[in-house]
Amino acid sequence: NAGVTQTPKFQVLKTGQSMTLQCAQDMNHEYMSWYRQDPGMGLRLIHYSVGAGITDQGEVPNGYNVSRSTTEDFPLRLLSAAPSQTSVYFCASSRARGNTEAFFGQGTRLTVV
């Protein structure tokens, strides 16, 4: 049982490039989400999904897209990378929305130069 698997672990992008951060979970969780973590600002919600085919915006969605074609996968796309998107990104899943334990992936440290 792998839990939440997130790739890559590190990435350097040039301004304007695009990329996809992968996230997969094998716990059959309905709820999945993406956070970014910046120093002193905690974990801020980017996008979330309550099930396959359903996604919605969080606190800081600009510059990011998501899709949820299967229960297991929830990729995050950076459309045109900007230095302000330099951050650590975490994918998380939970059995339900808001009132059960969240399981996190290992994180992706992204640097945009």
Partner 1 sequence: GENVEQHPSTLSVQEGDSAVIKCTYSDSASNYFPWYKQELGKRPQLIIDIRSNVGEKKDQRIAVTLNKTAKHFSLHITETQPEDSAVYFCAPGDTGNQFYFGTGTSLTVIP
Binding interface with partner 1 (CB under 8 A):
33, 35, 40-45, 48, 58-59, 90, 94, 96-102, 104-107
Question: Shortest distance, CB of residue 86 to partner 1, whole angstroms?
Answer: 17
Q: Which of 78, 25, 76 is nearest to 48 (CA)?
A: 76
Q: Using the minimum distance from each CB to partner 1, give the nearer residue, 17 or 103.
A: 103
Q: Using the minimum distance from each CB to partner 1, give the nearer residue, 63 or 107.
A: 107
Question: Shortest distance, CB of residue 73 to partner 1, whole angstroms?
Answer: 18
Question: Shortest distance, CB of residue 15 to partner 1, whole angstroms?
Answer: 26
Q: Using the minimum distance from each CB to partner 1, give the nearer residue, 58 or 63.
A: 58
DSSP lists the bridge partners of residue 37 as 43, 88
Q: Using the minimum distance from each CB to partner 1, give the nearer residue, 78 or 105.
A: 105
Structure tokens at 1: 């049982």
Q: Over the Cα atoms of the chain, what is R_g?
A: 13
Q: How many CB atoms lie within 10 A of CB 62?
A: 10
- Evaluated on CA atoms 42, 86, 35, 3, the torsion sign reads negative
Helix (H, G, I), strand (E, B) or coil at 108: strand
Question: Shortest distance, CB of residue 44 to partner 1, whole angstroms?
Answer: 8
